[in-house]
Amino acid sequence: MDYSEISWIFLAFLSGGILKGILGVGVPVVMVPILTIYFDIQTAVSTMVIPNLITNLWQSYEYKRFIGSKKILFRFTLAGAIGVMAGTVLLVNLQAAYLLLGLSGVILMFIFFRIHKPNWKLSESASKFLVIPCGLIGGALQGAAGVSAPVSVTFLNAMRLDREIFILIISTYFAGMAIIQIPILYSIGLLNIEIMLYSGFTVPIIFAGMLIGNWVSKYINDNLFEKIIIGMLLVMAIRLSYRSLTGA
């Protein structure tokens, strides 16, 4: 890797941190596709697990005062932790092309529906019914391909949560999955001391981005927050389609 490539990776981690500071999600969304340019998917997912744990624990602590329904938070996080166990096992041999293409289609349909029905909101009863299935699927995808956001973020966005509650739930969800993922990845040889050290160096960069994102978020209202989430989902859908068709 030359200095220009290292600089781009540095900027990507910083950008992911800024996005996370604003939305509560963003680092794996930005970084996993970039890391797969230089490494295989297993290494890319393993590299992100330590930063995911540290940054999400910090963010869930920062937003703990905004807790709403403890049942939704607990069920979603527990389901994600269970799902990530199955997904991490699949990570070794999974051929994810059709899965990723299907995910892209689901996201695009959701975005199309959201544009035509901007005031639609997932009902409380539907949210309670879907929280465990969405948590499980999101966890399995996080373990297998490092891309739980297409399911987890889409589900939480459909609930039309306030920004602070959204960030609390999604960061707790990601932290819970990382706690389970780390020992599993280590036990099957995909996470080692060298990768942990390298990934540890990225944490200050991500935190710097998060501080910038937190400052920017002061100027973001709920309407703009919604638009940024939709925009991120659109970029994710395009990226998933490209990845599924090219393997990149």
In the chain, where are the structural domains located?
3-246
pLDDT at residue 179, rounded to an integer = 93
Average pLDDT of the residues of the chain: 83
> Picking from 12-21, 30-39, 147-156, 186-195, which range would have the lowest pLDDT averaged per residue?
30-39
pTM: predicted TM-score of the whole model, two decimal places? 0.82
Would you say residue 1 has pLDDT above 70? no
Q: How confident is the model at residue 107 (pLDDT cuts 50, 70, 90)?
A: confident
User: pLDDT tens-digit profile of 134-188?
Assistant: 999 889 888 877 777 778 888 998 888 888 899 999 999 999 999 998 998 888 8
Q: How confident is the model at residue 99 (pLDDT cuts 50, 70, 90)?
A: low
Phi, psi (5° rounding) for residue 242? -60, -45
Q: Which of helix, strand or coil describes residue 121? A: coil
